Amino acid sequence: MKHWAVYYTIGLLLCATLLSVMPLQGEEQIYSDVIRLHILANSDSESDQALKLKVRDAILYEYKDQLACADEAEAEATVEALLPEIQQTAERVIREEGYGYTVTLHFTEEYYPTRTYGSLRFPAGEYRSLRIRIGEGTGQNWWCVLFPPLCVGAASGEDTPLPDTAPEGLTESEWRLVSADGSYEIRFRLLEMLSEWTSEKG
């Protein structure tokens, strides 16, 4: 009888521990509430990498106001409407820098590994993504979060402090997940495993 009580107590403790680290309701929505930006440089040469950053800066600077949307659906519609203009902006920067590279844009689902941006960390998984390929696109990539516009500071070189509350477009649960410290590590990994399992089922 005593052994049964011990096993029962251990089982309850294990269940409580597991529930405490499982994703809070809504955290799994991070994949559908975020739009990522992915820029591929023509090559790894110093000049091509510098050009990639100039294209990045122009896009983040010129469209930051339009991308200050209320939610992902509005942001997605805005990006789709801006695609021709964004391509023209990238091509203009490339021409001004003396290059003749082509620019290819795709706005689609794309897999991202776990990425850290300053104090923010986003789990690996499938995100809606604006993918900009410069020329051959074989150089090192540049990744960030286009919506909510959390990487706009990169265009000005500013280290923008994180807001205390969730930015427009993210729930408080999602914001806690991406801005939390190492105490969310297990929760973070469970969310990534859930995303991988969902992708396999799809």
> What digits encode the pLDDT tens for the residues 77-92?
999 999 999 999 999 9
pLDDT in tens, 112-148: 988 887 778 888 889 999 999 999 999 999 888 889 8
Residue 73 lies in a domain: yes
Q: Read off φ and ψ for residue 112, nearest 5 degrees.
A: -120, 135
Count of residues making up the chain: 202
Q: Could you list the residue range(s) of the whole structural domain that residue 96 is in?
A: 27-201
Whether residue 147 contacts residue 169, with contact meaning beta carbons closer than 8 Å, is answered with yes
In a domain, 14, yes or no: no
Evaluate whether 148 touches 162 at the Cβ level (below 8 Å). no
Structural domain includes residue 195: yes
Least confident of 19-28, 128-137, 168-177: 19-28
Tally of domains in the chain? 1
pLDDT greater than 60 at residue 8: no
